[in-house]
Amino acid sequence: MTDFTGRTALVTGAGSGIGRAAARLFAARGANVVAFDLTDAVRATADGHVNIVALTGDAGNKTDVDAAVARAVADFGGLDFAFANAGVGGGLAAFLDLTVDEWERVLRVNLIGVFLTMQAAARVMVPAGRGSIVATASVAGIRSGAGGMPYSASKAGVINLVATAANQLAGTGVRVNAVCPGLTETGMTQLWFDGARARGTEHKLGQLNPLRRAAAPEEIAEVALFLASDAASYINGQAIAVDGGLSSSHPTVPGKMA
């Protein structure tokens, strides 16, 4: 496991799911962490961790995001890692029924919010000559079938955003990558998991990927931490699918090859 002692991480969307898991993993491996979320649930993320500072704010609001980065600098002297993980779901209406309001709601957090975190983090990292930014995209951003239209488009935007940001930051020592989770038990998907357990069909969750299961938040967080770490020092501008193999195949009839 990578030792992050003496280094500082900002994690957005840290009140639950992948963000909470990542904040705690960073802290367990020695990093100082600013855990940022819209809800007070982020305080539970920090419970029992003296090196996690819990901060509430809106990841789609520039003032709040800038304040989170400033808090990392003020409390810990800098910023080494930023995990732009905050996101919202929704936008599940049919194509002809979607509204502009729903598009704006999703894009404001999932795409503009990721940009705001990247930009604010880069303003600190570039003068230091080093840093790693990781964003949470999704397999929904790779192809159709894993989310509503606004959500999927926002995550496709994140995938392109990390590629363009990595090139915009060429020569600065700052790397930018994304992780693309498949079905994972998070606050966003909790109703699906709870419903499946109530029906006794939990075993069907994730059944379309070759591993035949959903992911735990820690499994996604581990990849995010790897991308943030020096072990991934030559990975830049990439979107890594962590989906049990779901995106490796086109739809096929279930069963073994003859």
Report yes or no: 36 and 57 within 8 Å, Cβ to Cβ.
yes
Q: For 59, phi and psi rounded to 5 degrees?
A: -65, -15
Give the phi and the psi of residue 24 in degrees, each rounded to 5: -70, -35
CB neighbour list of residue 178: distance below 8 Å, 6 or more residues apart: 134, 135, 136, 137, 158, 159, 162, 238, 239, 240
Residues 206 and 195: their CA atoms lie apart, in Å, by: 14
Q: What angle do CA 227, 158, 44 make, to 5 degrees?
A: 65
Residues 6+ apart with CB under 8 A from 173: 125, 126, 128, 129, 130, 131
| Candidate list 4, 36, 76, 151, residue with the active-site label | 151
Instruction: Assess whether 151 carries a catalytic annotation.
Output: yes
Q: Give CA separation, 161 vs 217, 232, 233, 247, in Å.
A: 23, 19, 19, 20
Residue of 239, 84, 227, 87 lying closest to 163 (CA atoms): 239
Number of Cβ atoms within 10 Å of the Cβ of 97: 8
Query: 242: which strand partners?
Result: 181
Report the catalytic residues. 151
